[in-house]
Amino acid sequence: MAPATARARPDEVQVHDAERASPLVVGVVVWLASEVMFFGGLFAAWFVLKAHNEPNWPPAGQELELARTAVFTGVLLASSFTIHQAVAAAERGLRPRSLRWLALTILMGIAFLANEALEWSGLPFGFDASAFSSIYYLLTGFHGLHVLGGLVLMSCVAWVVFSPGSRAPSGEAMRCVGYYWHFVDVVWALLFVVVYVLR
């Protein structure tokens, strides 16, 4: 008599386990979902304040530098390509190539943060000058902190995973770093359009 349920072959079990997302990846995705809600609240605050202060938005003397920010926006968005290449190389076991792409991503992130610091230092208004200035500093400041956190994360991964003699698996760690960095880039793309282009 045939058994009621067929037992899965070992090769089928291995394929199923390989396709199952790891707890680390699931945890990163859930955490990023909470970050979406956090930035969603900041964007909602922007639109509410804008609606209550139009047509004086932004106030006179509080205009932003669009051209230079657009250039460094391109730099940050291009880093999505470099981190993708780093992840793809890590998943194929090409550790030196993955490290090179990761290092390039870190340099691009540093360039973006340096430009943001220069922009802040040259602004003729402070945090409490108006509702516009307050929400502007909050949006760009929290995003800058997330970029800085991403740079620290990538540096730690480079040190732990790609240090000489390390046998730590690189694919999963790089995949999580990639998810985070793509999130940072998407948030900035939206922020740039809303704050700098549409205003």
Q: Over range 133-161, report the average pLDDT.
A: 94
CATH architecture of 38-52+64-198: Up-down Bundle (1.20)
Percent pLDDT > 90 in the chain is 66
Q: Over range 53-77, report the average pLDDT.
A: 94
C-alpha to C-alpha distance for 99 and 158, rounded to whole angstroms: 7
Mean pLDDT of the chain: 88
Q: What is the domain partition of the chain in residue ranges?
A: 38-52+64-198
Report whether 177 contacts 35 (CB < 8 A). no
Report whether 98 contacts 86 (CB < 8 A). yes
pLDDT for res 93? 84
Peptide bond into 3 cis (omega under 30): no
Q: Over range 154-161, report the average pLDDT.
A: 89
Query: What residue type is assigned to position 182 of the chain?
Result: H
C-alpha to C-alpha distance for 151 and 146, rounded to whole angstroms: 9
Query: What residue type is assigned to position 122 of the chain?
Result: G
- On the question of pLDDT at 19 being above 80, the answer is no
